[in-house]
Amino acid sequence: MGIVDEAHNVKIVGLEGFAHDLLAILNELQINSCIFVGHSVSAMIGVIASVYRPDVFSKIIMLSASPRYLNDADYYGGFEQENFDQLFDAMRSNYKAWGSGWAPLCVGGDMESVAVQEFSRTLFNMRPDIALSVLHTIFHCDMRQILRFVTVPCHIIQSMKDMAVPVVVSEYLHLHLGSQSIVEVMPSDGHLPQLSSPEIVIPVLLKHIRHDISMGL
């Protein structure tokens, strides 16, 4: 059994469809090779897609990525189930109030900042039931078992302080990815540093886009 066939036996409930959608888009655009830059769960979707079609990806740049958010016996993802239960209850009871509190926590800043207001706008533009369904899928995914099948080089970029993804998760990815990987922890706060600290993130992203791991980043 080949590595792709074996990887197909690892079920990532809820995310395989997104990975196939990504591959379909790349195929429609006739992109035969690309550098994929993904944030959060999008980075992990790129990882899954690269296992199915490694020939399409020259490297993956992962910003604020996590293979699992729930703590486990031998794994620290940053959350307990009761944290998610409280979050989902808050979303159901008063979505707008939840969004107003979640946005500054997630982005890193106060409600007056442009970055927090922009993220809040995207939250409030979503139907609450869809937002709840998406977050439920993301927070209950476990992508650890597919990491060993990855063959495409991965650049793992992480904020020093991220309420959704502890720094230790980036080291977990580095240790368990089957491909070459490198970690860079930036002096930024929040899960969306591209919004809150673009002056830090943009040069780091460009560096990792332009240079390969073998070049001694």
Which CATH number is 3-68+144-212's, of 3.40.50.1820, 2.60.40.2700, 3.90.1150.10, 3.40.50.360? 3.40.50.1820
Q: Would you state the pLDDT for residue 13? A: 53
Catalytic residue check, 89: no
**SS3 assignment for the chain:** CCHHHHHHCCCCCCCHHHHHHHHHHHHHCCCCCEEEEEECHHHHHHHHHHHHCHHHEEEEEEECCCCECECECCECCCECHHHHHHHHHHHHHCHHHHHHHHHHHHHCCCCCCHHHHHHHHHHHCCCHHHHHHHHHHHHCCECHHHHHHCCCCEEEEEEEECCCCCHHHHHHHHHHCCCCEEEEEEEEECCCHHHHCHHHHHHHHHHHHHCCHHHCC
Q: Would you state the pLDDT for residue 52? A: 95
Q: Give me the catalytic one of 39, 40, 120, 189.
A: 40
Report the predicted TM-score, pTM, of the whole model to 2 decimal places: 0.89
Q: Give me the catalytic one of 162, 188, 196, 208.
A: 162
Residue-by-residue pLDDT tens, the chain, 217 positions: 444 445 445 554 568 889 999 999 999 999 999 999 999 999 999 999 999 999 999 999 999 999 999 999 999 999 999 999 999 999 999 999 999 999 998 988 777 788 888 899 999 999 999 999 999 999 999 999 999 999 999 999 999 999 999 999 999 999 999 999 999 999 999 999 999 999 999 999 999 999 998 766 6
Catalytic residue check, 33: no
Q: Enumerate the domain spans of the chain.
A: 3-68+144-212, 81-138
Catalytic residue check, 21: no
